[in-house]
Structure 1
Amino acid sequence: MADPSLVLQGAFNARLRVQVAALGGRFFDRVPADVVFPYLEYGEFQTVDDGAQCHDGQEVFATLHVWSRAIGQVEVKTIAGAVRGALHEAELDLGAAWQFLEIAHQDTRYLKDPDGLTSHAVLTFRALVAAA
């Protein structure tokens, strides 16, 4: 059985491809050297046993990074809002191995890169899943 964070990342790809057109399908686990902005980078994932005795449940914390080179923060904030809207309290299909229970947006931080050109949003989500 695959780790639930891997299955969740696939569900994110499917949902964001449909819901966030501004990214043009640019979702990366590893960012290519010749990347076109804006894009989304999958950051850190943490999987934690939920401690329940009645089922094999997991909490998955997912960090997503949005990067933009547009002047100001309008583009990065707009895209981050669209990502939040696409995933917060969404119904995600995790396939046969995992039962999706819920996902919620935890926080978003906006940063200015020291290069003076790049804006960066860091979104954190918490999902609950259980083995099917």
Structure 2
Amino acid sequence: MSADVALQDAVYDALIANAGVSALVGARVFDNAPDGVAYPYITFGPSQAVTDDVECIDGEENYLQIDVWTQEGGSKRGAKVLCAAVKKALHNAALVLSDPVALVLVEVEDTRVIGDPNEKVAHGIVSLKAITEG
């Protein structure tokens, strides 16, 4: 299994298990949201894996975008609350990745909230960086 896939699986598990996140979205965390899904919800956005080998260790820097979606008449407040909950669940978390991948570090680098072409929807972005080896 690639580190990128192992990281996404561990992030999914952490978000579903986190009481603060699940209080806001329930189990609505998706790789690709189904049509007609209820708001608010979370999806996985773009990811990137950068080789970061050192002597005798196969390492990677993994970047993962987590998108949050709210529909409160265009208000960005709910997206900010959900971004904060995702950050709290993941920043410096002790995620367990599938063998043979090991997590060295995971941190939320930034969060931002933007508008959406649908003026009633707010879009939050949580940028995650992880260093893995395996």
TM-score per shorter chain, which class? over 0.9
TM-score, with length taken from structure 2 = 0.92
Corresponding position of 2:44: 42
Percent identity for Structure 1 against Structure 2: 30
Q: CA deviation at 1:118?
A: 0.3
Matched, 1:68 2:42: no
User: 1:16 corresponds to which letter in structure 2?
Assistant: L
Corresponding position of 1:10: 9
Matched, 1:105 2:108: yes
User: 1:57 corresponds to which letter in structure 2?
Assistant: G
Unaligned runs of 5+ in 1: none
Unaligned runs of 5+ in 2: none
Give per-residue Cα distances to partners, 1:73-125, cap 9 Å, x unaligned. 22111110000010011000013211111101111121011321000111111
Aligned residues: 130
Q: What is the root-mean-square deviation in Å for CA atoms of aligned residues?
A: 1.1
92, 96, 108: which one aligns with 1:93: 96
Structure 2 CA distance, aligned partners of 1:114 and 1:94?
36
Give per-residue Cα distances to partners, 1:12-47, cap 9 Å, x unaligned. 111111211111111111111111110101001111
Moved over 3 A (4+): none
